[in-house]
Structure formats: structure tokens, C-alpha cells
Amino acid sequence: MTGYFILLALVAAAGSLLWLLGNRGALLKLSLAALLLGSAGYTLQGRPNLFGAPAKPDTAAPGLSFARARHVFFGEFNASERWLLIADSFSARGKHAEAGGVLANAVKHYPGDLPLWIGFANALVEQGRGMTPPAQLAFARAEAIAPGHPATGFFRGLAQARSGEPQAAVNTWRKLLANAPADAGWRPLVEDAAAAFSAQPAPPRR
């Protein structure tokens, strides 16, 4: 029964997201149908939990948190933070659908806000316990707002790791590191994440 409610919440979030991205009418109905099928597969299959008790030891990254990582990329004081803090409070109590609802409302009001879209994508990942079609759409929107911004790649990597694809996550992070300046303030965070999932050394700093 819990999986059923998660599925409904995911499809509802997907509908809101598709509406925001401009899908209307028959296209919206077809997109929702596809997402319903895809989300059902994710709900039934399940995904390992990156934060908390993981299904597999090698999918956990102890010490990582969305809030701490978010502050590395965007700082602690910005216009998005009040929304994100409310969502954090819900997520901390396991109310991931409510967290997603808060951020779905936030991106509706501020459609060009990068931290909010990344937060929304993270909430959808939490809700689906891994990368889902709605989360992929949210990450795509974040990428469209600020192409190449390292925060989008970092959190997409976390979603990949949580979805049971640690090597894909490492590849995503290593690509970020390969193009990062040596003094980038976020670089140590990405290096630590890559090291947690791979025995290979990180690319040398330039």
C-alpha cells in the first residue's frame, strides 16, 4: 500500500512538472501515461537508500547530506533557502512526498531558480528511492537553467549512486573534476564522493 501511495505522489509531481515545462493537452496525457508505467516499475522494483540504511554497503556514502552539499555550492543564505529548509524538515521526518510538494510549489512560483529545481529533483529521488522519470525531468530543467553548473552534475551523481549505478555516479563526478579549477570550493566535496564509490584516484588538480 505504501508503494501505491508513493506511485501516486510521483505521478502527481510528474504532472505538475510537465505542466511547468509546457506540455499540454494530449501530449500531457501521453507523457503522464508513460511516467505512470515507468514510475510503477521503480515503485515495484525499489532502489537502495543512499542516506540511512542502504540495501548494499557499497551504495552508502556516510556523512553526505543534501543540505551540507547544497551549502557548498550555493551558500547558506540565498532566496531559495527558506523553501529548501521547509522541505528538509519534512524529509528528516521521512515525509518525502510532502517535501516534494513544497518544492513543486516553489518551482511553480520561481521557475528560473536553479537551487529550487535541484532541490525538487533531490526530493523526487528521495520519494522514489532512486532516479525516476520525474526526477530526470527536474534535473534536465536545472541543466537548462544553468548549463554546466557543477551542482546539477553532483546531485545527479548522487541520484545515480542511489539508483544502484555507482560507476555511473563516479563517471559523472570524474567528468566534473576533469573540468574543475584546482581552487574550486566545491571540488573537495566531489572528490570525497567519487572516492567513496571508487578505488580509482581522482584526476589530478590543474
Strands (E), 25-159: none
pLDDT value of position 204: 56
- Domains of the chain by start residue, with CATH: 48-197 (1.25.40.10)
What's the burial of 136, exposed, middle or buried (CB within 10 Å: 0-12/13-18/19+)? middle
pLDDT band at residue 203 using 50, 70 and 90 as cut-offs: low
Residues in the chain: 206
- Angstrom distance (rounded) from CA 193 to CA 127: 22
CA atoms within 13 A on the CB side of 50: 30
Sequence-distant (≥ 6) Cβ neighbours of residue 188 within 8 angstroms: none
pLDDT value of position 47: 34
Torsion, Cα of 16, 87, 124, 152 (10° steps): 100
How confident is the model over 139-192, as pLDDT tens digits?
999 999 999 999 999 999 999 998 999 999 999 999 999 988 999 999 999 999
- Angstrom distance (rounded) from CA 39 to CA 3: 10
Nearest to 96 by CA among 58, 104, 117, 79: 104
pLDDT value of position 159: 94
How confident is the model over 8-28, as pLDDT tens digits?
444 444 455 544 445 544 433
CA atoms within 13 A on the CB side of 49: 8
How confident is the model over 67-103, as pLDDT tens digits?
889 999 998 877 889 999 999 999 999 999 999 999 9
pLDDT value of position 120: 97
